[in-house]
Amino acid sequence: MGPWLGIILAALCFECRGEDKVIQPSGDVVAAEGDTVTLDCTFQSSTNSPYIFWYKQDGTSGPKFILSCNPFSPVKKENEFMERFSSTLNSTTKSAPLKIQKLQLSDSAVYYCALRPTVARTSRTVHKNLHAHDTLNSSH
């Protein structure tokens, strides 16, 4: 069995109204190299067409876009995350968990789940709701 990994999960809300929010469980997610993990992300939204975004931040740079999903369009992913990262937005359960397969040490990071309702606004303010964190840390 390979080294242990840990994941931090954080919540963000882009251009959200008071009733819109991302809800995530607290605590670390720990897994072994090669395992599959699923990071939970549930949300409340005032629109029937929200967008969920997943980002990865490894401590050496700002958050890096992984993917976005919405109930009416295909998932959009960055090339480096095509093979092992996936998510599907479920409108019924209001969730969009991120699944990471074949974990690698390079997956140790903070993972952000973000919500953006489909509302036209000029502001790009990011409101951080850091109620929950799941950290993916490597240890030997």
pLDDT at 81 over 90: yes
Give the pLDDT band (50/70/90) at residue 120.
very low
Instruction: Determine the average pLDDT of the residues in 31-45.
Output: 91
The whole-model pTM stands at 0.72
Structure-model confidence comparison of residues 125 and 77, the more confident one: 77
pLDDT at 119 over 50: no
Q: Which helix (DSSP H) or strand (DSSP E) does residue 117 occupy?
A: none
Give the pLDDT band (50/70/90) at residue 134.
very low
> What pLDDT, on a 0 to 100 scale, did the predictor assign at position 29?
84
Lowest mean pLDDT of 33-47, 54-68, 114-128, name the range: 114-128
**Which CATH code fits 21-115?**
2.60.40.10
Beta bridge partners of 6: 30
Determine if residue 102 is left, alpha or beta; phi over 0 gives left, psi from -120 to 50 gives alpha, anything else beta. Answer: left
CA dihedral 20, 44, 84, 4 (to 10 degrees): 90
The domain segmentation of the chain, as residue ranges, is 21-115
Beta bridge partners of 68: 53, 76
- Residue 65's closest CA among 116, 22, 102? 116
